Structure 1
Amino acid sequence: MLADRSVDVHPTPQAPFYRAVGDEEEVFRAAAGGGLPVLLKGPTGCGKTRFVEAMAHELGRELITVAGHEDMTSADLVGRFLLRGGETVWVDGPLTRAVREGAICYLDEVVEARQDTVVVIHPLADHRRELALDRLGTTLPAAPGFQLVISYNPGYQSVLKNIKESTRQRFVAIELGFPPAEIEAQIVAREAGVGAETAEALVRLGNAIRSLDGSPLREASSTRMLILAGGLVAHGLSLRGAARSAIVQALSDDPDVVRALGELADAVLPPA
């Protein structure tokens, strides 16, 4: 089965904090009402996972999250036969559990998985709403309430790892990005437990890095990074020290890039 690090099951007892920027909540509710699959696309750390958690809580659905990785196989999602107590028994994978129980199954960064894994979800993402259990010789219809949600970062994955049109066209697409500065500062302040001035300074730095012309960075400074930096400040680290550790050093290993980002941080952040 999938390792524990790859699967997370949330009963979502407490409402996750999420601030909507556009109509993403309305689109998701409509899709959920019709049992339609949803594709979330956007940069790493912009809130895709938090959004799904918040919507699962609002809808009262169990959420099963699976982190995609290059070693993931279709058996990891669907299930396999295992030896238990001297007997061979079938054990459902996380996708099969979600289909049986009517839960939301969130496949995070799905394009990182092998292509045969992605093909497995096709019958669940169209009018059939069923999962083929080839090793059991049967087909499992999706229980009421089941919804398939997948995500990926179109700016990060290579062309070879992009979502195929045959997969993409089965989904309702919701594009998420980094929030406007005012909303992002509110998120950072709440999640990191810092004051408004600190949060606003971190967001200014984040936006300055995102706006760099000809940036050599593969990833932008994410909201998640800003929250991590804020958390360091909340526990006693200086603002510049927190930015250096959680943002500058985390974005690159190239000494020249790190130096340039450090200089940018010094220019944007208030004096210590």
Structure 2
Amino acid sequence: MTNSIHYLPQHNEVELFRHAAGSRLPVLLKGPTGCGKTRFVQHMAEQLNRPLITIACHDDLTAADLVGRHLIGADGTYWQDGPLTRAVREGAICYLDEVVEARKDTTVVLHPLSDHRRELPIDRTGELLRAHPDFMLVISYNPGYQNLIKGLKPSTRQRFVALSFDYPTPEREVVILCQEAGIDKQTATQLVALGNDLRRLKDQDLEEAASTRLLIYCALMIGSGTPVGDACRACRRSL
């Protein structure tokens, strides 16, 4: 299969993910925002030839949003699977992006899927759903956002094989910008240098570091004809 999702490995994360998938183990991706976690999951789904179901977690995400609920239609009440249940049935990779944003009582539903049982109890229908052999659970979070209110409990965290991500090395980041935005190497090198200067200001004058994603956006604007200074200032304002 031709790979259409570009991903430049940082270390041995591709091999580790493959081994985890082959052993039917859940995976936790840890790293700052915009460093390539979601792109990595998309890449691996293509590599493994598995469907990918992505769930963007948020404060109002409930267990029913994941598992499913009864709905009322023209012919009466019927059950509709949620995205997690569909992934369990179909053998997809289910990716929960920024899982700590979800309510703690919601993430508990992941526990029986992330240990030796690999099953999903659907309380509202009485079904005990055993996961398809190809089902894989992947979650991600940014440790920098952890605080007393929002954090990933050890009882959840220790059920996963953890892969740590960070921003790419400058050399790799230059390659990524050239590849993603089609800009020349000199401009990409200057953008990466600016990004690393801004990252050194993290926790001083900036609330958040300049992510690789933000540098790609800036490079895309420059590639479309936006003056370099205007593009840099527009992206700098999002920090």
Q: State TM-score, norm by structure 1.
A: 0.85
The match for 1:74 is 63
Contact 1:76 1:93 in 2 (8 A): yes
Q: 1:238 aligns with which of 223, 227, 236?
A: 227
Q: Which amino acid aligns with 2:237?
A: Q
* Structure 2 CA distance for aligned equivalents of residues 162 and 218 of structure 1: 19
1:133-144 counterparts in 2 under 5 A? 133-144=122-133
| Cα distance, 1:14 vs structure 2 | 4.8
| Cα distance, 1:212 vs structure 2 | 2.2
1:96-107 counterparts in 2 under 5 A? 96-107=85-96
| Cα distance, 1:219 vs structure 2 | 1.6
1:116-265 counterparts in 2 under 5 A? 116-212=105-201, 214-246=203-235, 248-251=236-239
Aligned length: 239
Q: 1:26 aligns with which of 4, 15, 20?
A: 15
* Structure 1 CA distance for aligned equivalents of residues 68 and 155 of structure 2: 24
The match for 2:36 is 47
Q: Which amino acid aligns with 1:75?
A: A
Percent sequence identity is 57
Contact 1:188 1:226 in 2 (8 A): yes
Contact 1:156 1:218 in 2 (8 A): no
For structure 1, which segment, 157-166 or 40-49, has the greater mean C-alpha deviation from structure 2 after superposition?
157-166
* Structure 1 CA distance for aligned equivalents of residues 92 and 113 of structure 2: 13
The match for 1:261 is none
For structure 1, which segment, 223-232 or 13-22, has the greater mean C-alpha deviation from structure 2 after superposition?
13-22
* Structure 2 CA distance for aligned equivalents of residues 151 and 14 of structure 1: 23
Q: 1:114 aligns with which of 86, 103, 128?
A: 103
Secondary structure at the counterpart of residue 144 of structure 2: coil
Q: State TM-score, norm by structure 2.
A: 0.97
The two structures, once aligned, show a CA RMSD in angstroms of 1.3
* Structure 2 CA distance for aligned equivalents of residues 136 and 174 of structure 1: 35
The 3 A distance-change label for structure 1 pair 13 and 100 is: farther
Contact 2:27 2:161 in 1 (8 A): yes
Secondary structure at the counterpart of residue 35 of structure 1: coil
| Cα distance, 1:245 vs structure 2 | 0.3
* Structure 1 CA distance for aligned equivalents of residues 233 and 35 of structure 2: 20
Q: Name stretches of at least 5 consecutive residues in structure 2 with no aligned partner.
A: none
For structure 1, which segment, 143-152 or 214-223, has the greater mean C-alpha deviation from structure 2 after superposition?
214-223
Contact 2:202 2:208 in 1 (8 A): no
| Cα distance, 1:213 vs structure 2 | 6.7
Q: Which amino acid aligns with 2:143?
A: P
